Chains A and B, each alone.
Chain A
Amino acid sequence: MTATTRAMNMNERAIISVRNLVKHFPIEAGFLRRQVGVVKAVDDLNFDLNEGETLALVGESGCGKTTTSHCIIQAQRPTAGRVLFRIGDAEPMDLTQMEKGELKEARRNIRMIYQDPYSSLNPRMTLLQIIGEPLVIHRMVKSQDDLQERVAELLRLVRLDPSTMNRYPHAFSGGQRQRIAIARALSLSPKVVIADEAVSALDVSVQAQILNLLKELQNQLGLTYLFVAHNLAVVKYEADRVAVMYAGKIVEIGETEALYTNPRHPYTEALISAAPNPDPDTKHRERIVLSGEVADPGNLPGGCAFHPRCRYAEDRCRQEIPELIEVGGNEGQAHQAACHFADSLDLTGIAGAILREEGESA
């Protein structure tokens, strides 16, 4: 089988398949800007985004989650690999091979929402212009009346008052601005929405409104979400499946509940343990506090990139890069981890953390 045919094979439920995706940034130095190294921001990533699901990419800063989302919509061109996108029963298209003009249709169907609604909305444009702009560019409206009607409909969809469409973003709070950004993202009736830290800048009471709104819109419109985030509790609430990234690679991917209650990678275990929980009873629990900091993607340690911070690391981890392999999920659900000792380690998830506390206090 040639590389092309193998790569063009998509899982039948997948709407986007990322295959061997690589994004390297050169490190240049000196007067002649000679390349002295490379930042491996995304390093051989493989995953499927299934139609109608919410897949979360979680990880700390520098893990490559945002670069991955940029490579999917070709805002940054990947160094290697494929991003296959399929609409309905049509032939999958490889977005990495397409010219700018050819990407228009794909980009109409894959839209983004960004973190900061204060910088992502043009302050000199009214809501009508902000939300209507994609409709005009893609020639999806015939007249000004048609445009106003569509924008009013979109504002109602995100629970904003359509009579505000001639106002400017400064008149709105953070949560309302994020609704405007969502309305703009949905204006072209996309299939996929990539939400890059879409609720991270919001206050908790408003964050909850937006999380619930995203869920309602997904049910109503049959959207598929790629949810890029660092907050594990938010991801637990929002996602069906979770991919945990570390230093440009997926270290674990599986169904949300299985991954949180039964993590199979030590990094996932540590992330779960470190997430603060608003319950003072958990104050005295044994926390796994990782030493050191996230691996520098410009200067990765040999072997497993996580080994310098891993409390289970052995010699093999310093030498061999672990593959992302199936570790056996519940009821045949796929659950993969990239750890040499995924099968032998007894790791603690959220249920375990709570049970262990009860055991201690009893």
Chain B
Amino acid sequence: MDELAPPDSAMNGSLLSVRNLQTHFFSREGVVKAVDGVSFDIRPGEILGIAGESGCGKSVTSQSILRILPRNGKIVGGEILFQNDDRTIDLATEDADGRVLRDIRGKEIAMIFQEPMTAFSPVHTIGDQIIETIRIHQEVSKEEAHDQAVEMLRRVGMPNPARNIDEYTFNLSGGMRQRAMVALSLSCRPKLLIADEPTTAVDVTIQAQMLELLRDIQADLGMAIIMITHDLGVIAELTDRVMIMYLGKEVEHGTVEDVFHRPQHPYTRGLLASIPKMEPGRVEIEPIEGVVPNPYAMPSGCKFHTRCPDFIAGVCEKLDPPLTEVAKGHEVSCFLYGGKEGLE
């Protein structure tokens, strides 16, 4: 596609448009199709959730966007279109170590991780690391960068920013490290923040603080957020729209209200039914039968057919279900809702 196309024409007002992304991992045992044809858009200022269990490809999707895949992972198909001011850049085809991506990473698209200790260097103060990030991407003096860093630490609720800036991560408690990591990632005011399981390793009261912080800071700075998590409670709490993934495929996609109140795909229904609820009285849970298949021996057809209670013999194991729109903006990839015409 033409890189200098005017904004909006191809992107429809989206900040990021992922189209038919395929990311595969190559190893001696074979090829794992970690992400196998995933498409989604995110508009400026929107919060999108990507949810699914281990091995569904949610983290690989985010690593593909930033091109920080492990060495044996490769994008083998699809586009990752990012609207950077008036240019549309296909992140999938850019050189992962090239100028374009280095300018985008950390500045336009930032990421926060599950374990804050891995995001920071233990031998530099958090201030040094935030100031370095600011000075790489912006032409400002050390003093100015210092002031910006203090300001960002204040925004994320560090108790004493002027002092915290000179601290090392090992001096900070878990919750404070998380806040410092958010400050680092937001220091260049990115347009898009990718949060990969940021609340998984922390206690519930710290998780509540973190969700509140993300909500406040999103309202404040207006960036878009992609929230990647296995915790549907976190998705319900924070996001506007959600995409549910299973074994590298998108199974359902819609507003959180649609997906949680009117789940259509048998996998989404199964997931919701298997979570214990914080509701009064006895609420039974129903597990999904079976286990997630071995990634080297993926099922044919619909990936979920081996565990699906609504399995249609002769259809589901043969064909890949297409995405069907069941309501405006609510898409499901399941033969229960159409797409099997091609078979007859």
| Chain A interface residues toward B at CB < 8 A | 60-61, 173-176, 203-209, 211-212, 230-234, 236-238, 257, 260-261, 270-283, 287, 289-291, 293-294, 349-351, 354
Residue pair B277, A277 in contact (C-beta under 8 Å): yes
Residue pair B292, A173 in contact (C-beta under 8 Å): yes
Residues of A close to B171: CB separation below 8 A: none
Choose from B53, B260, B278, B291 the contact partner of A275 (Cβ within 8 Å). Answer: B278
Contact with A along B259-298 (1 / 0, CB 8 A): 0110000000011101111111101011110011000000
Q: What is the CA–CA distance of A293 and B204 in the complex, to the nearest angstrom? A: 11
Evaluate whether A205 and B233 lie within 8 angstroms (CB atoms) in the complex, with A257-B280, A294-B203 already known.
no
Choose from B260, B271, B288 the contact partner of A279 (Cβ within 8 Å). Answer: B260
Q: Which of B53, B175, B276 has the most CB of A within 10 A?
A: B276
Choose from B175, B260, B270, B274 the contact partner of A293 (Cβ within 8 Å). Answer: B175
Residue pair A233, B280 in contact (C-beta under 8 Å): no
Residues of B close to A277: CB separation below 8 A: 233, 236-237, 277-279
The segment from B71-79, B161-169, B208-216 that touches chain A is B208-216
Answer yes or no: B60 CB below 8 A from chain A CBs: no
Known: A276-B211, A290-B205. 15 other contacts (CB 8 A): A60-B203, A60-B206, A173-B292, A204-B230, A205-B270, A207-B287, A237-B276, A271-B204, A274-B204, A275-B204, A275-B233, A276-B231, A276-B236, A280-B261, A282-B237
B122 to chain A minimum Cβ distance, whole angstroms, is: 20
A274 to chain B minimum Cβ distance, whole angstroms, is: 4
Choose from A207, A280, A282 the contact partner of B274 (Cβ within 8 Å). Answer: A207
| Chain B interface residues toward A at CB < 8 A | 53-54, 173-176, 203-209, 211-212, 230-238, 256-257, 260-261, 270-272, 274-281, 283, 285-288, 291-292
Residues of A close to B232: CB separation below 8 A: 204, 278
Q: What is the CA–CA distance of A294 and B205 in the complex, to the nearest angstrom? A: 9
Q: What is the CA–CA distance of A61 and B202 in the complex, to the nearest angstrom? A: 9
- Ranked 3 nearest A-B pairs via Cβ: A276-B233, A208-B287, A208-B274
Residue pair B205, A280 in contact (C-beta under 8 Å): no
A298 to chain B minimum Cβ distance, whole angstroms, is: 13
Residue pair B278, A272 in contact (C-beta under 8 Å): yes
Q: Which of B203, B212, B270, B271 has the most CB of A within 10 A?
A: B203
Evaluate whether A233 and B275 lie within 8 angstroms (CB atoms) in the complex, with A205-B288, A209-B287 already known.
yes
27 residue pairs of the A-B complex, CB under 8 angstroms, read: A61-B203, A174-B54, A203-B292, A204-B53, A204-B230, A207-B274, A208-B274, A211-B285, A233-B233, A233-B277, A238-B276, A257-B280, A260-B280, A271-B204, A274-B208, A276-B231, A277-B277, A277-B279, A278-B233, A280-B256, A280-B257, A281-B257, A281-B261, A282-B237, A283-B236, A289-B212, A354-B279
Residue pair B212, A350 in contact (C-beta under 8 Å): no
Residues of A close to B233: CB separation below 8 A: 233, 275-278
B169 to chain A minimum Cβ distance, whole angstroms, is: 15
Residue pair A278, B235 in contact (C-beta under 8 Å): yes
Q: What is the CA–CA distance of A232 and B206 in the complex, to the nearest angstrom? A: 14
Evaluate whether A236 and B230 lie within 8 angstroms (CB atoms) in the complex, with A230-B203, A287-B212 already known.
no
Choose from A60, A238, A278 the contact partner of B260 (Cβ within 8 Å). Answer: A278
Q: What is the CA–CA distance of A61 and B212 in the complex, to the nearest angstrom? A: 20
Q: What is the CA–CA distance of A176 and B53 in the complex, to the nearest angstrom? A: 16
Residue pair A278, B261 in contact (C-beta under 8 Å): no
Q: What is the CA–CA distance of A173 and B292 in the complex, to the nearest angstrom? A: 8
Residue pair A289, B274 in contact (C-beta under 8 Å): no
Choose from B207, B209, B257, B286 the contact partner of A276 (Cβ within 8 Å). Answer: B207
Residues of B close to A272: CB separation below 8 A: 278
Q: What is the CA–CA distance of A289 and B213 in the complex, to the nearest angstrom? A: 11
Residue pair A270, B205 in contact (C-beta under 8 Å): yes
Residues of B close to A212: CB separation below 8 A: 285, 287
Residues of A close to B287: CB separation below 8 A: 205-209, 211-212
Residue pair A204, B204 in contact (C-beta under 8 Å): no
Q: What is the CA–CA distance of A23 and B292 in the complex, to the nearest angstrom? A: 42
Residue pair A293, B288 in contact (C-beta under 8 Å): no
